[in-house]
Amino acid sequence: MDQIKVYLKDGTHREYPVGTTIGQIAEHISRKLGAQALGGKFNGQLRDLNYPLQEDGNLEILTFESEEGKEIYRHSCSHIMAQAVQKLFPGTQLGIGPAIENGFYYDFDLEQSFTPQDLERIEEEMTAIIKADYSFERQEVDREEAIRLFTQRGENYKVELINDLPSEAAISLYRQGDFLDLCAGPHVPSTGRIKALKLMSLAGAYWRGSERNKMLQRIYGTAFSKKSELDDYLFRLEEAKRRDHRKLGTELGLFTIMEEGPGFPFFLPKGMILRNQLEDFWRELHQRTGYQEIKTPIILHRGLWEQSGHWDHYKENMYFTQIDEEDYAVKPMNCPGGILVYRTQLHSYREFPIRLAEMGLVHRHEKSGVLHGLMRVRAFTQDDAHIFMLPSQITQEIKGVIDLVDEVYRVFGFSYHVELSTRPEKAMGSLEVWEQATNALRMAMEEKGMEYKVNEGDGAFYGPKIDFHLRDSIGRTWQCGTIQLDFQMPEKFDLTYIGDDGQRHRPVMIHRVAFGSMERFIGILIEHYAGAFPVWLAPVQVRVIPITERHHTYAHQVFAQLVEKGFRVEIDDRKEKVGYKIREGQMHRIPYLLVVGDKEQEKGMVAVRARGEGDLGAFPMAQFEARLNQENTWRFQPTSS
């Protein structure tokens, strides 16, 4: 019998008879892998486990540990959900049902509206389908047969999809039990492979995303390979609701967004304290690492944006105005302003690198439907910096920025991973220049010993970039910091310096942020800490609570002494019970509550209650101040709550 060579991901290869399936190979490698396998990738193509191999090639066995394995698993769940819906609600027409991040959905067309009680029934029916362990069976048919089958079933949306497929496309169907769906696959071997799922929510969705089409009903679900993973995910969702920065921002008096300015946040006094603490930290760090701070205008002439390329590549996201009958734009990015600052004087090679930092307010148009608290806004401040350097300094400067971003995230207790984004379709400059810039970013990360993922085609229109994705205290990831290497803007603006040969040369430019957006970073911090900020960030660090009215004078003395030392202090001398005041202080996540009564007044002490620790007993004022001083610095890294 003819043999084929199969090359595995670990670099080894094995020989098998022609026609051996991917599932059989997984079983042969190990019984455990055979049980965990969900599908395979053969010569770059996703395949079912029962796909027979006919030629030599590279094979990767996909389990739930891989992103592609998760997609196969969750897409199979969407088919199970569609089967359950059609059994419970005969006559329902199917739209589409893909896997998405952390789950899946399916769009349905039926006259009655689904209710939360219906979701419970559908989930029960899905459990029965899983228990029945129907095989997922793939078949390929010609266009006419596919149209006949789905017309017969009254599936008008499927017929429309088939008609839109290229004429030469193979049309594949998947069947489990008596359910049939149009699908490219692949799928898990059978419905019984699904171990843990839950239906989450209902929404409306226009067919194919167009408002001209009918509104369908969308059911969202999630699925995991183990019940413990599902339970953990559901816990994190509940925890995320508890930590919602919009809710906490209101409760803690940090910020608000008003109907008079959708997408334009208002920072309240306590929110400004938090924001200013972050800016002070940012300035100290940048002064120490050789940056000079600048400030550039918010509105600049149209000609500048045409020269920078934003007018052609970013116009739909910009706001415009007219001044003296001339066109101007509100800046969506800070880089053109930084470039104008560079051009205010002639530079020598001896000055490089020149590092210009700016807390720059920018405005970008976002559709109202995507606005979300501080996370997605129309006006935000970037902690921007633009580094102008010699070509020979590229790698060292990128490594310096990596170190700075790393220090920022360690202060807040964030871990992170990095991704390299390469040339997009809509880009300025030659392929050669892009390759040079991309290789420079790779070299810097590799010299730092960093692991990274490549995002093909996801770079900025003027250059490739490194993105930092930080992980918060409940495991969510956020893209914040970025490093963009740019050979294009110096060319477009004819930037030069005088080299050691006395001639003019072209500098190279880095665009970078660490926080990203101040607003978004504050939103992330609110949720990361659940509003319980470390002492150095907390808008109120101490609240003094007198037990009765006769303790007010001493409480005010304690208050005044701490304020004089530079601490942020409040006093709660309302006519309320002390237990009520303590509970309210805890709800406001104040790091320290100082209760003062007769004993404290007599001995010149304070009874200290620390957030997360409870009653610490009585402290002399000097001892408490020493403790507070130790924590009142960004170099102190407390455990997040």
Catalytic residue set: 335, 364, 382, 384, 386, 465, 511
**Other Cβ atoms within 10 Å of 302 Cβ, number:** 14
How far apart are the C-alpha atoms of 461 and 457, rounded to whole Å? Answer: 10
- Closest by CA to 232, choosing from 188, 196, 193, is 196
Give the max Cα distance, the chain: 99
Query: In a 3-state reduction of DSSP, which class is residue 577?
Result: coil
How far apart are the C-alpha atoms of 140 and 359, rounded to whole Å? Answer: 58
C-alpha torsion sign, points 380, 381, 382, 388: positive
How far apart are the C-alpha atoms of 608 and 601, rounded to whole Å? Answer: 14
Query: In a 3-state reduction of DSSP, which class is residue 593?
Result: strand
Calculate the dihedral angle through the C-alpha atoms of 278, 280, 281, 287, rounding to the nearest 10 degrees.
140
Q: Which residue has the tokens 């730092």?
A: 448
Tokens in use for 157? 């949306």
Query: In a 3-state reduction of DSSP, which class is residue 115?
Result: coil
Q: Quick check: 141 and 122 in contact, CB under 8 A?
A: no
Calculate the dihedral angle through the C-alpha atoms of 422, 427, 429, 435, rounding to the nearest 10 degrees.
10
Tokens in use for 419? 């991704």
Helix, strand, coil distribution of the chain in percent, nearest 5: 40, 30, 30
Which residue type is seen at 106?
Answer: Y
Tokens in use for 152? 């017969």
CA distances from 494 to 78, 116, 344 (A): 54, 62, 13
- Closest by CA to 236, choosing from 487, 630, 527, is 527
Calculate the dihedral angle through the C-alpha atoms of 569, 573, 578, 581, rounding to the nearest 10 degrees.
-50
Tokens in use for 372? 């979300």
Within 8 A by CB and 6+ apart from 396, the residues are: none
